[in-house]
């Protein structure tokens, strides 16, 4: 292992990690919002919207991110819509992530007993109040593991951003590798960089899950 090479390129990797993290997080946040909206449309069977949400989810889940990014970056300009690489990156990741987040939220909402919703309705709560105070807190407790898994999955999917010529971690490594030798060092640092980014997320997931378990609401869960 050529430690000198690693030391001299560490700044390239921190720059790449910043791109990965920044656009990964934008995508994750937008995915959470889009996912929640789609999930609510389906859960409350909102006419028209529920079908649109369902169709979108199947389309997004069953096509690779690479294809979605190509479509945004190379396809859309043909019909006159030109987006920056960064915009394509965030839109593409959100398109993919929204579908996965929606399903994670839905698994949480479906696990909340229907009678909870009715109990909220019987108290005269509006639908929004019922969602906010009664349904979502309980749904999130169940959905948290799946939501965190999606966050990690989406941040890893940012490695596709290299096709948009963005200098994310993957592209930094690719560039270094093709510019001569040091393949082992380049890949070692790449793996290490993703680990440094994602291990804290995994840890946060474990801690949140444990907290929720000990907070135990007592429904479908033995304490």
Partner 1 sequence: MEPILRVKDIHKSFDGTGVLKGVSLEIHEGEVVVIIGPSGCGKSTLLRCINGLERIDRGEILLRDRRISGLEKDMHLVRQKIGMVFQSYDLFPHMKVMDNLLLGPTKALKRSREETEAEAMQMLSRVGLADKAQALPRTLSGGQKQRVALVRAMLMHPELLLLDEITAALDPEMVSEVLNVVIDLAEEGMTMAIVTHEMRFAEAVADRVLFMEDGVIAEEGGPEEFFREPRTERARQFLQSFTYASARKKEKADSGNPGSGKIR
Q: Which residues bind partner 1 (CB under 8 A)?
A: 113, 115-116, 118-127, 129, 133-134, 137-138, 141, 215-219, 223
Residue with Cβ nearer partner 1 (153 or 217): 217
In angstroms, give the least distance from the CB of 125 to partner 1. 5
SS (H, E, C) 96-120: HHHHHHHHHHHHHHHHCCHHHHHHH
**Shortest Å distance, C-beta 137 to partner 1:** 5
Q: Smallest distance from the beta carbon of 92 to partner 1, in angstroms?
A: 36
Instruction: Copy the structure tokens of residue 89.
Output: 């990156």
- Contact yes or no for 152/204 (Cβ under 8 A): no
Nearer to partner 1, 140 or 149 (CB): 140
Angstrom distance (rounded) from CA 43 to CA 174: 43
Q: In the bound complex, what is the minimum distance in angstroms from residue 218's beta carbon to partner 1?
A: 3
Q: Provide the greatest CA pair distance for the chain.
A: 69
Residue 171 corresponds to which tokens in the numbers above?
Answer: 């592209």
112 or 170: CB nearest partner 1: 112
Give Cα 151 to chain centroid, integer Å: 4
Q: Nearer Cβ to partner 1, position 78 or 114?
A: 114
Q: Nearest CA to 70 among 50, 52, 88, 44?
A: 88
């Amino acid at each position: 292992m050529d430690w000198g090479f690693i030391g001299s390129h560490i700044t390239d990797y921190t720059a790449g990690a910043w791109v990965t993290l920044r656009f990964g997080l934008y995508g994750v946040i937008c995915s959470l919002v889009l996912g929640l909206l789609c999930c609510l449309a389906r859960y409350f069977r909102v006419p028209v919207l529920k079908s649109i949400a369902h169709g979108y989810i199947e389309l997004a889940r069953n096509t690779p991110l690479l294809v979605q990014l190509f479509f945004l970056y190379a396809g859309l300009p043909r019909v006159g819509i030109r987006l920056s690489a960064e915009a394509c990156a965030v839109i593409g990741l959100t398109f993919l992530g929204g579908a996965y987040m929606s399903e994670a939220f839905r698994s949480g909402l479906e696990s909340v007993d229907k009678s909870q919703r009715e109990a909220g309705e019987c108290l005269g709560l509006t639908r929004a109040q019922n969602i906010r105070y009664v349904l979502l807190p309980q749904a999130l407790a169940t959905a948290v593991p799946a939501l965190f898994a999606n966050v990690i999955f989406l941040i890893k999917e940012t490695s596709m951003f290299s096709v948009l010529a963005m200098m994310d971690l993957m592209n930094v490594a690719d560039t270094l590798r093709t510019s001569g030798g040091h393949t082992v060092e380049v890949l070692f640092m790449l793996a290490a960089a993703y680990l440094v980014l994602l291990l804290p997320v995994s840890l946060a997931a474990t801690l949140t899950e444990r907290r929720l378990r000990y907070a135990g609401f007592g429904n479908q869960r033995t304490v």
